[in-house]
Copies of this chain bind each other. A is one copy, B any other.
Amino acid sequence: MQNYKLTIEYDGTNYLGFQVQAKGKTIQGEIEHALERLFREKIRIISSGRTDRGVHARGHVINFKVSTDLKNRNIRAALNTYLPRDIVIKKIEKVASDFHAQYSVKDKTYEYVIVLASIRSPLLQRYAYCCNYDFNVKAMRKALKHVVGKHDFRAFASKIPSDKNTERTIKKATLNFNGARLAIRLTADGFLYNMVRNIMGTLCLVGQGKLTSDDFRNILRSKDRTKAAPPAPPEGLTLLSVHY
């Protein structure tokens, strides 16, 4: 059995999320379906993680094992023929048998994009959260600094059992602003369920002046989910890359 690592891009708009569900279209479901068509056996993929309904990915990583004589480029071409237009295998690599797309992760980088628009934008809203606020970007930058480092992110985690370890390390947090578009990137050793979107939702309240950056830090320290804002919408979020 050869272990394969795949790098995948997808537009998550029309999917229930990455992980297979009892009903409805998922990214995992589409990929496993394509693998089954190609190899004529059921293959379970291992994913670097799950993205929520409507979240996109530029470099999601998965792995799976199979015995085959096919060349990498032919596996990729065949899978891309079977996959729908909004999912693509960008890269396929042979990896050592102990490579595990989830356990071997060193860090992941997500980007959240906010577009400042006085009205919804059909051409931007698919890959950005469009909103009509006069954001205080300086305050947002200040608040964002508080997430960097090792913290218990329980306040920003949705549906987390109380006995689960919710410590994560955010290695890098950047905010890019060009006058109309905010792009926030977070790199961490791992992310809790809804963590980026919950941080973004709360950060938007700082941007609107409803919270100060000190309030933001206190919410993080409180470890209390009810203190933080609801998650920001999924369309603004893209998993950029996973590093091993």
Chain B residues within an 8 Å CB radius of A121: 9, 88
- Does A80 lie within 8 Å of B11, measured CB to CB? no
Chain B residues within an 8 Å CB radius of A119: 80, 88, 90
- Does B85 lie within 8 Å of A122, measured CB to CB? yes
Judged by DSSP, the binding face of A is loop
Chain B residues within an 8 Å CB radius of A58: 123
- Does A56 lie within 8 Å of B123, measured CB to CB? yes
Q: How large is the interface on A (under 10, 10 to 19, 20 to 34, 35 or more residues)?
A: 20 to 34
Chain B residues within an 8 Å CB radius of A90: 119
- Does B9 lie within 8 Å of A88, measured CB to CB? no
A58, A80, A123: which has the most chain B beta carbons within 10 Å? A123
Within A220-239, which residues are at the interface with B (CB < 8 Å)? 238
A9 and B123 CA atoms in complex are apart in Å by 7
A86 and B126 CA atoms in complex are apart in Å by 10
| CB proximity of A238 to chain B, nearest CB, Å | 7
| CB proximity of A6 to chain B, nearest CB, Å | 13
- Does A88 lie within 8 Å of B120, measured CB to CB? yes
| CB proximity of A25 to chain B, nearest CB, Å | 14
Chain B residues within an 8 Å CB radius of A87: 122
